[in-house]
Amino acid sequence: MTRKQKRGVLIGAAVAILAVAAIMVALALRDTIVFFQTPSDVAEGKVRPGERFRLGGLVADGSVRRGQGTKVKFAVTDTLQSVSVSYEGILPDLFREGQGVVTEGRLDPSGQFVADTVLAKHDENYMPPEVAAALKEKGVKLGAGAEHPGGKSN
Amino acid sequence: MIVEFGHFALVLAVVVALFQTAVPLWGTLSREPRLMETAKPAAILQLVLFLVAFLALTHAYVTSDFSVANVAANSHSTKPLIYRISGVWGNHEGSMLLWVLILATFGAAVAIFGNNLPLSLRANVLSVQASIALAFGIFMLATSNPFLRLDDVPIDGRGLNPILQDPALAFHPPFLYAGYVGFSIAFSFAIAALIDGRIDAAWARWVRPWTLAAWMCLTLGIAMGSWWAYYELGWGGWWFWDPVENASFMPWLAGTALLHSALVMEKRETLKVWTILLAILTFSLSLMGTFLVRSGVLTSVHAFAVDPERGVAILAIMTIFVGGGLTLFALRAGELRHGGLFAPVSREGALVLNNVLLTTATATVFVGTLYPLLLEGLTGAKISVGPPYFNLTFVPLMVPLLIALPFGPFMPWKRGDIVAVSQRLILAAVLALVAMVATMALAQRGPWLAPIMMAVGVYVMAGSVQELTYRAKIGSAGRDEILRRLRNLPRSIYGTTLAHFGVGMMVVGIVATSAYQTEKVLVLKPGDTAEVAGYTLTFKGVAPHKGPNYREQVGTIEVMRDATPITTLHPSKRIYDSPPQPTSEAGIHASWRGDLYTVLGDAQEEDGGYAFRFYFNPLVRLIWLGALVMFFAGGISLSDRRLRVGAPKRTSRADTPAGAVAAE
């Protein structure tokens, strides 16, 4: 092989790998990403039926109902609208009424959100920034801790 | 008093860094050796001053001096000593101080051990290194000074986030930072070479040990973080493709590529331009990791600095170094002469494939991590990119890499024979087939791809060992000959074999855990039993308990297997005193077979039962053990005489006509 051919083979192989990777990235970004929605977004019909998405907001006060075994129901609210959520499993340590929460799953035909993941991380002042931003957008007044997710570190 | 002393030392260190940035570089530009020689004492002095500052802050933490704002905000007098010390870097200001301390340590190490570097190269390297310290030093003094006092001294501090109070996490940041910051040496060498316009094989020999040391630390740091997430967060997972994890994983991938391309450059004097670019990119990704994690752009337990001012400042620093580095590269790269020729099928070719796959994989992780930020900035839509994305993009790139991996070390330089190498790997292929059949027979469930991936893992392990047996002629030569050969093999060969073996171990652990994990969520009343992966678990009850700075509810679970008692597990739910935050402590029974992992959930109001989550994670240990093997493999390689810091001399390369080619 000549110098040119050798280089050609290497560059060709590298470009082929990059092209395949780029196609996979494009496909994956189309199919696997999950959007974040608030209860108001759901009420406005922004979610397609059967679409997997993240629902975030506050756990409505007095809404947590434990069922058989580890089944649990609660409502997620942005204080304007709320969506009823059902979940089977163990809730995170920081899950509490009146606190920020992010859940992931799908709406069932009756409009109930069936979650397979519930996230409530960080310290007691913490509110997920998506939730804080979304609530702010809706003009909801927030408590002292919510604006400052890093709270205690500053 | 000691705090003011530390503050003063920090200011002085920044002044020294300014001196060290300007004077040695001025020396090389004006060809004045006396100015170049100032770099060494300056680098050592800079280290001493940062160390004094760091020790002063540590002293404030250990003695719980709550008149210091940083201590009051992040420590608590009831905290055990080890967490008072680790609290120093468990916050934004202190972690930045640790960052520059490690940066100065690497700089001083180059100054001390780099006596055989050409004077101008050493001066340039230390000058670039000091400019990074200068930027971060000014950043600290301006926006994140850890030594500020409070006017009203609180009676006690606010405590460290309890999930960070953990032995593995106490040492996770120092190792991670040593990795991130260690790549600064490769960056400084790259910039110095570009300033000089000269680059040759000796350059790679000087850079490789530092890159290897940084890579080792980063490997261990990431593994510790993953291990911590596994047992502390109580989700039974070991990697979540969380943006913060990705931020540390990207420099690791690029650094791994850099180690391999520097090898080609050292042995064959080719891939020079690419290696320089990779050195710049690797440290750029480290800076980006620092920016992403510290700026609060990403939301996670790591995001201390939600102050937008700080985020903008780190972004500015990053832009200067990444942009400056790449601009210099664009201006000078054309002047670097290209090196030797090689056939596509050769050791060089294999290492190029390694580099293409690793950098492409880095790019996919990069896109997955930054796309949500980009999309939110452009359209305001909030999305999350999770494991499904990475399974579709990153994982498929790893498969060809793993299959090609054992071929690499068998390939001769310049021109290889793929058929001959395949024949040598037949044994590894047979073992892989056995592993595949065994997996199918044992598991009888799970995705169809899993047994194949198990086979790939075993093939990588066996193929790596085969390289050693081939070189030692095990199976063909006599016993004395084998022993003699084993003794005479360079340590770097053992390092390569062991590191690749560690990769294989990890693959086996990852595939087994991902494909064959058992998960059960159920409610048990005292006296109830549950069956999990062949274990019988009996729930005995829950009792309260008080720790040094927390209260907890401790569950007792007796574990039996084949009617013989194995162990008693105590998963618990804790509430820390300050800050009052709940955490779950998993009860884990670890064995070679896998980990039995138990988490205590909430009490059920009506019937006195408790919710439990049980996992069985087969072979999960191999993931972290594989990382540990890779770490030690790096150490063995580093102890190789040929690679030892300072060993190479430029003159030795000048003997061979191929070497010592100035780039002009």
The Cα–Cα gap between A61 and A75 comes to 8
| Distance between CA atoms of residues B95 and B308, nearest Å | 18
Q: Does pLDDT of B457 surpass 90?
A: yes
B477 pLDDT band, cuts 50/70/90, is: confident
In this predicted structure, what is the pLDDT of residue B338?
Answer: 67
pLDDT (0 to 100) of residue B357: 95
Nearest CA in chain B to A29: B389
* Residues B337-368: tens digit of each pLDDT: 666 678 888 898 899 999 999 999 999 999 99
Q: Is residue B512 scored above 60 in pLDDT?
A: yes
Nearest CA to B197 out of B272, B262, B260 is that of B272
Average pLDDT value over all residues in chain B: 87
pLDDT in tens, B583-620: 888 999 998 999 999 999 888 766 778 889 899 999 99
Q: Where are the domains of chain A?
A: 1-33, 39-146
State the number of CA atoms in the 13 A half-sphere of B366 facing the CB. Answer: 19
Across the interface, whether the CB atoms of B296 and A1 are under 8 A apart is answered no
Alpha carbon distance B643, B641 (integer Å): 5
- Inter-CA distances, B257 with A7, B42, B325, B352, B379, Å: 20, 32, 19, 9, 35
* b/e B111-130 (16+ beta carbons within 10 angstroms → b): beebeebeebbbbbbbbbbb
Residue B86 corresponds to which tokens in the numbers above? 């680790």
For the stretch B281-306, pLDDT in tens is: 999 999 998 888 776 666 544 444 45
Torsion of CA B324, B330, B335, B340, to 10 degrees: 110
- Distance between CA atoms of residues B311 and B627, nearest Å: 32
Distance from CA of B571 to the nearest CA of A (A): 13
Cα–Cα distance between B298 and B505 in angstroms, integer? Answer: 32
**Average pLDDT of the residues in B110-138:** 92
DSSP-assigned states of every residue in chain A: --HHHHHHHHHHHHHHHHHHHHHHHHHHHHHH-EEEE-HHHHHTT-S-TT--EEEEEEEPTT--EE-STTEEEEEEE-SS-EEEEEEESPPPTT--TTSEEEEEEEE-TTS-EEEEEEE--S-TT---HHHHHHHHHTT----TTTT-TTGGG-
Spell out which residues of chain A touch residue B303, defining contact as CB-CB under 8 Å: 149-150
**Residue B159: its chain A contacts at CB < 8 A?**
152
Which are the contacts of B316, defined by CB distance < 8 A and separation ≥ 6? none
Asked whether the beta carbons of B187 and B609 are under 8 A apart, the reply is no
* CATH code 3.30.1360.80 for A39-146: no
User: Cα separation of B80 and B61, whole Å?
Assistant: 11
CB B615 within 8 A of CB B530: no
The pLDDT of residue A148 is 33
Cβ pair A21:B296 closer than 8 A: no
**A124 contacts B344? CB cut-off 8 A:** no
pLDDT at B661: 36
Cβ-Cβ contacts under 8 Å, A88 against chain B: 521
Q: Tokens in use for B494?
A: 């053992």
B 332-371 residues with CB below 8 A of A?
A: 341-344, 349, 352-353, 356-357, 360-361, 363-364, 367-368, 371
Q: Measure the CA–CA gap between B357 and B447, rounded to whole angstroms.
A: 25
Q: Distance from A90 to chain B by nearest Cα, in Å?
A: 6
Poorest-pLDDT segment among A142-146, B429-433, B575-579? A142-146
Cis peptide before B579 (omega within 30 of 0): yes
The predicted pLDDT at position B115 comes to 83
Please tell me the distance from the alpha carbon of residue B598 to that of residue B588, in angstroms, as a whole number. Answer: 6
3-state secondary structure (DSSP) of residue B603:
strand
Give me the percent of chain B exceeding a pLDDT of 90. Answer: 50
| Res. B662 pLDDT band, cuts 50 70 90 | very low
CA dihedral B435, B440, B443, B447 (to 10 degrees): 110
Which tops the pLDDT comparison, B11 or B153?
Answer: B11
Give B133's Cβ-side CA count (13 Å radius). Answer: 39
Residue whose structure tokens are 């004006």: B30
As a whole number of angstroms, the distance between CA B556 and CA B595 comes to: 17
B663: pLDDT strictly greater than 50 = no
Q: Inter-chain contact B393–A21, Cβ cutoff 8 Å?
A: yes
Structure tokens at B482: 């084998």
- Note which residues in 21-60 of chain A have CB less than 8 A from chain B: 21, 24-25, 27-29, 31-36, 54
Least CA distance to B611: which residue of chain A?
Answer: A70
- Work out the minimum CA distance from B390 to partner chain A, whole angstroms: 8
- Of B90, B102, B100, B88, whose CA–CA distance to B132 is shortest? B100
User: Mean of the pLDDT values across residues B176-190?
Assistant: 93
Which pLDDT belongs to residue B563?
A: 87
Question: Are residues B615 and B519 in contact, defined by beta-carbon separation less than 8 angstroms?
Answer: yes
Nearest to A41 by CA among A86, A87, A99, A82: A82
Return the pLDDT at B308: 67
Residue B120 has pLDDT above 80, yes or no: yes
Q: Tens of pLDDT along B212-266?
A: 999 999 999 999 989 988 888 777 788 888 888 899 999 999 999 999 999 988 8
Q: Strands A113-119, A82-88: parallel, antiparallel or unpaired by DSSP?
A: parallel
User: What is the arithmetic mean of pLDDT over B84-102?
Assistant: 90
| The predicted structure's pLDDT at residue A139 | 62
Paired tokens of B74: 């992040």
Q: What is the pLDDT of residue B303?
A: 43
3-state SS, one letter per residue, for B238-264: CCCCCHHHHHHHHHHHHHHHHHHHHHH
Is A142 in CB contact (< 8 Å) with chain B? Answer: no
**Three state DSSP letters for B510-547:** HHHHHHHCEEEEEEECCCCEEEECCEEEEEEEEEEEEC
Q: For residue B237, what pLDDT is reported?
A: 83
CB pairs under 8 A between A and B: 140
Alpha carbon distances (Å) from B181 to A5, B103, B130, B255:
40, 6, 12, 12
Q: Which residue has the higher pLDDT, B642 or A34?
A: A34
Q: Cβ separation of A70 and B601 shorter than 8 Å?
A: yes
Residue B280 and residue B287: Cα distance in Å, rounded?
A: 11
**Of B40 and B79, which is predicted with more confidence?**
B40
* B91–A contact, CB cutoff 8 A: yes
B584 touches chain A (CB under 8 A): yes
Pair B84, B74: CB distance under 8 Å: no
Residue B605 contacts A where some CB pair is shorter than 8 Å: yes
The model's pLDDT over A82-113, given as tens digits with 9 standing for 90+, comes to 899 999 888 887 788 887 888 889 998 888 89
Is 0.85 exceeded by the ipTM? no
- What does the pLDDT profile of chain A (154 residues) look like in tens digits? 677 787 788 888 889 999 999 999 999 988 888 888 888 888 888 888 788 898 888 888 888 888 777 888 999 988 788 899 999 888 887 788 887 888 889 998 888 899 988 887 554 444 555 666 666 666 655 443 333 333 333 2
pTM of the model: 0.90
Task: Of A34-48, B35-49, B530-544, give the lowest mean pLDDT range.
Answer: A34-48
Q: Do A153 and B74 touch (CB under 8 A)?
A: yes
| Those residues with Cβ within 8 angstroms of residue B262's Cβ, 6 or more apart along the chain or in another chain | B204, B207, B208, B211, B275
pLDDT recorded at residue B72: 87
Q: Which of A32, A66, A149 sits opposite B389 (nearest CB)?
A: A32
Statement: residue B171 has pLDDT above 50: yes
Residue A138 has a pLDDT of 62
